[in-house]
Amino acid sequence: MIFTNFRRITRTGFVNFWRNGFLSFAAIVVLTLSLLALGSIIFAGAFGKALISDVKDKVDINVYFALTAPESDILSVQRDLNRLPEVASTTYLSREQVLNNFKLKWQDNTLIMQGLEEIGNNPFPATINVKAKDPGQYGSIAEYLQDKNPGMSDGTPIIEKVNYEQNKLVIDRLSKIIPAIESAGMIIAIIMIIVAMIVVFNTIRLIVYTSKDEISVMKLVGASNIYVRGPLIVSGVMYGIVSGAVTLVIMAAFSYWSDAVILRFAGISVAADFELVVNVLSKYFMQNFGQIFIIIMGTGIVLGGISSYIAARRYLRV
């Protein structure tokens, strides 16, 4: 009997979903918009993270050593740097490597290649490139290098130049902006979701309200609460499923479209530079599809079902 009841309730909910026609359509539109708000928050989060990590990557400190600095001393400075907790990684480029990289980069530019030949010997210093775990920590790393500048055998300091100062402006700004953006984003997200939930709830409540008389008749004829509420909840869940599906399709389309737009907007060279950012949405969507599916569908079903349940309770007091 329980199974029969369940079957009847589901079938009635399904039939009502179709027969309510325009009302169902309105509920689905509202629910889809809410889920799209949730979806765009997910996308914004993914995009923001990619952008921030890309920029963090770009920001670094280059330490230029005196031309006569012995390699063993340079490597010992690198070891000391690696021991610092703020340092994420260091890359050592010997003078020869810097020269080769330069030649490779500019091999098509005859003017520059000629100039290099005229100089004769290798003008480039050995370099250590330092990346910190957090842009805000470059300051302390630079200070450390300033203090601990070991001397060479002839007394001159081994480190010729630290080009932190040029990047400092960018680094400083970033350290301030990024946390601010993250908090603002969170607050906006929460407000949007609350507003969306209220709109969905009221839309479904309106739909149930239009069935108020029918609900009272059903009760007067002796139907139990489950028989009256059940189909409404089933319809609510169906709104959630349909809206969830539509939202996922829109999100998929958007993620692929956004790749093309970003590429065109930023230009090829910038895109190559910021490689992480270009494919980020479609890659993110594909890789995390399972999670996104559960979040969007789950939210849709829960919103639709619970709104129906609460709305139905109000009108069941016959």
Partner 1 sequence: MIYYDKVTKIYPDKSVGLDGVSFGVEPKEFVTIVGHSGAGKTTLMKMLIAEDWPTEGAVYLESTNIHKLNKRQMSKVRRRIGTVFQDYRLLQNKTVYENIAFAMEATGRTDSEIAADVPHVLELVNLGHKIWNFPKELSGGERQRVAIARAIVTQPDIVIADEPTGNLDPTNTYEIIRILQKINELGATVLLTTHNKGVVDTIGGRVITMEKGKVVRDDKAGKYIL
Residues 223-262 touching partner 1, rule: CB under 8 A, are: 223-225, 227
Task: Please tell me whether residue 181 binds partner 1 under the rule CB under 8 A.
Answer: no
Distance, CA of 176 to CA of 160 (rounded, Å): 30
**How many residues contact partner 1, by CB under 8 A?**
20
Q: Which is nearer to partner 1, 176 or 314 (CB)?
A: 314
Which one among 22, 121, 221, 290 touches partner 1, defined by CB under 8 A? 221
Task: Please tell me whether residue 222 binds partner 1 under the rule CB under 8 A.
Answer: yes
Q: Which is nearer to partner 1, 24 or 90 (CB)?
A: 24
Q: Which is nearer to partner 1, 19 or 173 (CB)?
A: 19
Task: Please tell me whether residue 2 binds partner 1 under the rule CB under 8 A.
Answer: no
Instruction: Tell me how far, at minimum, the Cβ of 301 lies from partner 1, in Å.
Output: 23
Sorted by sequence, the CB contacts under 8 Å of residue 106 that are 6+ apart come out as 112, 113
Distance, CA of 259 to CA of 101 (rounded, Å): 31
Q: Which is nearer to partner 1, 8 or 176 (CB)?
A: 8
Q: Which is nearer to partner 1, 57 or 214 (CB)?
A: 214
Torsion angle, alpha carbons of 250, 195, 302, 11, to 10: -80
Which one among 49, 131, 168, 219 touches partner 1, defined by CB under 8 A? 219
Task: Please tell me whether residue 4 binds partner 1 under the rule CB under 8 A.
Answer: yes
Distance, CA of 99 to CA of 95 (rounded, Å): 6
**Measured between alpha carbons, how far is residue 146 from residues 110, 132, 149, 151, 161 in Å?**
38, 16, 6, 12, 10
> Cβ atoms within 10 A of the Cβ of 202, count?
14
> Cβ atoms within 10 A of the Cβ of 123, count?
12
Which region, judged by CB under 8 A, interacts with partner 1, from 33-41, 134-142, 211-219, 289-297? 211-219
Task: Please tell me whether residue 133 binds partner 1 under the rule CB under 8 A.
Answer: no
Q: How far is CA 77 from the centre of its chain?
A: 37
Which pair of structure tokens corresponds to residue 224?
A: 């139990």
Task: Please tell me whether residue 318 binds partner 1 under the rule CB under 8 A.
Answer: yes
Is the dihedral angle over the CA atoms 49, 54, 59, 62 positive or is it negative?
A: positive
Which one among 123, 213, 260, 298 touches partner 1, defined by CB under 8 A? 213
Which among 61, 62, 83 has a CA at the least distance from the CA of 139?
61
Residues 13-52 touching partner 1, rule: CB under 8 A, are: 16, 19-20
**Which positions lie near partner 1, rule CB under 8 A?**
1, 4, 8, 16, 19-20, 211, 213-214, 217-225, 227, 318
